[in-house]
Amino acid sequence: MSIIETNELVKYYDDLCAVDHVTLSIDKEVFGLLGPNGSGKTTTVLMLTTLLRPTSGNASICGHDIQKHAERVRSAISYVPQDMAVDIKLTGRENVMFFAKLYGIPSPKDKADEALALMELSERADDLTRTYSGGMRRRLELAQALVHEPSALFLDEPTLGLDVAARKKIWEHIGSLSRRGMSIFVTTHYMDEADRFCDRVGIINRGKIAACGSPEELKTNLMNDIITVRIEGMCQPPDLEGVWYVGRQEDEISFTAENGKEALPALAETLTRNNVKVRAMSLREPTLDDVFLQAVGQQEEPHGFADSKFRMMLRRRR
């Protein structure tokens, strides 16, 4: 049995379905729940950390049901919420000691020092956290979460609002924790970070899991080369041998092709023949952005291309 299992998890806020039949299975790995704002990431995490009751479905952590054995679940997990919450009037060490005591750890002082050292905060441990940078506060929260050596660690948008260097550092720490045998459930809306640092990702959109797998798997399964075309006006995706339509963002449409180099001129020709004004074209390797675009597109528009929607968008932009 996996460490984190969810089975058809559903959460409604009144009429709004924030999480829609989510079924996941997560082992000792870094699992990224990836989706835009409002897609239901936080709601999922709140249910798994026993802070919110699911409308239906169930989930278990280390075999403990999140509703029937909430206390056991809480002994097995740590949770770092999306909005940072550290006591700025306390020092870094006091902040961590406080959690160590709450977890009932036998020697809280040693354990706190260890966690602070792991997060590279030892030197500043006795300064008030008021003086810490955003990245340091995040690492302090990680240290708080680590003192009791949880089996599963839940991080809700741990890199939100941090600069590039701080983000990278947080992800490196996440990676090293995972290598120590912790199962890490992390949410993010940064596709590139999920691509680089997660072992597996689940793409969530409007509460539904649209795709799930390792970034490599998702990218190679779905696509070979990516061709993006910047166009003017609207366009019907052309029907071309070996070229598939992926999706559209603003005035860029993307395609995936078995052989991008050959498809490029053919695509340009066809588009021009269809009276589409092509501004620029480029060929590149697929990213999770493309995976997301395609997965979400399939989910929302089973009949392909919502032309009217883009026409409206364009009209608004003018």
What is the DSSP-derived secondary structure letter of residue 128?
Answer: B
Report the relative pairing of strands 77-80 and 152-156 from DSSP bridges.
parallel
Q: Does 185 bind other proteins (CB under 8 A)?
A: no
Among 14, 15, 37, 104, binds other proteins (CB under 8 A): 104
In the DSSP assignment, the letter for residue 180 is T
Using a 10 angstrom Cβ sphere, with 0-12 exposed, 13-18 middle and 19 or more buried, the burial of residue 155 is: buried
Does residue 83 bind other proteins (CB under 8 A)?
Answer: yes
Count of residues engaged in binding ligand ADP, rule: CB under 6 A:
11
Q: For the CB of residue 75, give the shortest distance to other proteins in the complex, in Å.
A: 4
x/- mask, ligand ADP, residues 19-38, rule CB under 6 A, reads ----------------x-xx
What is the four-CA torsion angle of 295, 36, 164, 171, rounded to 10 degrees?
Answer: -70
**Pair 293, 222: CB distance under 8 Å:** no
| CA-CA-CA-CA torsion sign (64, 68, 69, 74) | positive
Q: Which of ligand ADP, Mg ion, other proteins, none sits in contact with 43, Cβ below 5 to 8 A by type?
A: ligand ADP
Total Cβ atoms within 10 A of residue 109: 13
Cβ count near 258 (within 10 Å)? 13
Report what 35 binds from ligand ADP, Mg ion, other proteins, none; CB cut-off 5-8 Å by kind: ligand ADP
Could you say which residues in the range 17-46 bind other proteins, by CB under 8 A?
Answer: 46
Contact partner at residue 50 from Mg ion, ligand ADP, other proteins, none, CB < 5 to 8 Å by partner kind: other proteins
> 290 with 256: CB under 8 angstroms?
yes
Cα radius of gyration (the chain):
23
Q: Which is nearer to other proteins, 77 or 226 (CB)?
A: 77
18 lies in the binding site for ligand ADP (CB under 6 A)? yes
**Residue of 39, 42, 178, 294 that binds Mg ion (CB under 5 A):** 42
Distance linking the first and last C-alpha atoms of the chain: 55
State in angstroms the smallest separation of the CB of 202 from ligand ADP. Answer: 12
Find which of other proteins, Mg ion, ligand ADP, none residue 55 binds, CB within 5 to 8 Å per kind: none
Binding site for other proteins (CB under 8 A): 46, 49-53, 71, 74-75, 77-81, 83-85, 87, 89-90, 94, 98-99, 101-104, 144
